[in-house]
């Protein structure tokens, strides 16, 4: 007698990694990096299969799904919109933290046009998740499994996704400044590596570019408190760098956040050369344009660790 559908489903569920949401709500306040406007942000639990949804509470609570096809601007940051003129900018660091902490479902309430920059990294958002706690939900975690290699080029930037056993990223950057120069790093976002190796890496900019942005009325909230600022071959921040290669680590952090706009964790290898938000979004567009390159699947407990850091706070995870 063969294996019944019911027994297969039972076995599948027993071997599944569960969806997770926050155990409770948690809030923070800060300033928008580009708008310079004060902003408060609240993370709230969400139902099974809800995904990550942003809401602008200052203009009627308009809901914006955190999805690649809702990206409306990717020049200075990643901005998502509802198609009716309502937008929220600089979502990438928060999205990276939610990906790294294994949060599948959450509501993000923001009372302004931009997620607060905090210290320029994802670490404050990871700390928020730790404070709120996480809870397992009674549904398996769905992932996007890369089946065939897909690649894009935008200007001198390149990005590629290829099949893999977890989310791994290989990124190279190249800047004229001696403080940055050429840096590269390969890392798998597994077994808590996001919190240890990536979350603390801050966004960075060059003084001459920042001064031009200020003169144009942009980057109004930028300061040495929320960004690494480079002048020539020197880092201006008195405390220096958090990592010797903090610049490339932040680029990887950005990629983790941008890729989570796929709508589910990606199982695959990301390779980027001078890649940024626009290239990352173009890569997702290329991936989803060709159905042969990907499929929805369930994350199995016997796979290589986890596609995302679902075990980052195992002591906080409870079953709903």
Comparison of pLDDT for 4 and 159, the residue scoring more? 159
**Domain count across the chain:** 1
Q: What is the pTM of this model?
A: 0.91
Q: Are 66 and 51 in contact (CB under 8 A)?
A: yes
CATH assignment of the domain containing 230: 3.30.1700.10
Q: Which of 70, 250, 271, 277 is catalytic?
A: 277
Mean predicted confidence (pLDDT) in 147-160: 96
C-alpha span between 99 and 254 (Å, rounded): 11
pLDDT tens track for 255-283: 999 999 999 999 999 999 999 999 999 99
The predicted pLDDT at position 319 comes to: 52
The answer to whether residue 277 is catalytic is yes
Packing angle, helices 92-100 and 123-132, rounded to 10: 50
| Structural domain boundaries, residue 164 | 5-319
**Residues contacting 235, CB < 8 A, separation 6+:** 179, 228, 229, 241
The predicted pLDDT at position 305 comes to: 44
pLDDT tens track for 193-237: 999 999 999 999 998 888 887 777 777 888 899 999 999 899 999
Question: What rounded mean pLDDT belongs to the chain?
Answer: 89
Q: Are 128 and 250 in contact (CB under 8 A)?
A: no
């Amino acid at each position: 007698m063969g294996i019944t559908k019911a027994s297969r489903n039972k076995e599948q569920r027993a071997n599944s990694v569960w969806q997770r949401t926050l155990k409770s709500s948690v809030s923070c306040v800060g300033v928008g990096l580009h708008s310079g406007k004060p902003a408060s942000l609240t993370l709230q639990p969400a139902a099974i299969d809800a995904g990550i949804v942003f809401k602008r509470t200052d203009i009627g609570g308009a809901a914006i799904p955190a999805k690649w096809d809702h990206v409306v601007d990717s020049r200075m940051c990643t901005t998502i919109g509802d198609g009716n003129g309502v937008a929220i900018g600089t979502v990438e660091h928060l999205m990276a933290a939610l990906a790294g902490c294994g949060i599948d479902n959450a509501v993000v309430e923001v009372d302004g046009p931009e997620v607060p920059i905090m210290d320029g990294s994802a670490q404050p958002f990871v700390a928020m998740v730790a404070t709120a706690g996480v809870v397992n939900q009674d549904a398996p975690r769905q992932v996007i499994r890369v089946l065939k290699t897909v690649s894009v080029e935008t200007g001198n930037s390149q990005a590629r996704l290829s099949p893999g056993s977890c989310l791994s990223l290989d990124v190279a950057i190249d800047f004229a400044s001696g403080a940055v120069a050429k840096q590269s790093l390969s890392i798998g976002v597994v077994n808590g590596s996001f919190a240890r190796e990536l979350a603390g890496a801050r966004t960075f900019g060059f003084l001459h570019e920042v001064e031009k942005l200020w003169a144009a009325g942009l980057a109004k909230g930028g300061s040495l408190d929320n960004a690494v600022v480079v002048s020539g071959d020197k880092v201006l921040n008195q405390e220096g760098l958090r990592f010797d290669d903090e610049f490339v680590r932040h680029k990887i952090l950005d990629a983790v956040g941008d890729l989570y706009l796929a709508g589910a964790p990606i199982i695959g290898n990301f390779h980027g050369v001078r890649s940024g938000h626009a290239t990352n979004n173009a890569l997702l567009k290329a991936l989803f344009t060709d159905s042969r390159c990907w499929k929805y699947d369930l994350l199995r407990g016997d796979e290589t660790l986890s596609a995302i850091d679902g075990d980052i706070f195992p002591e906080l995870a409870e079953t709903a």
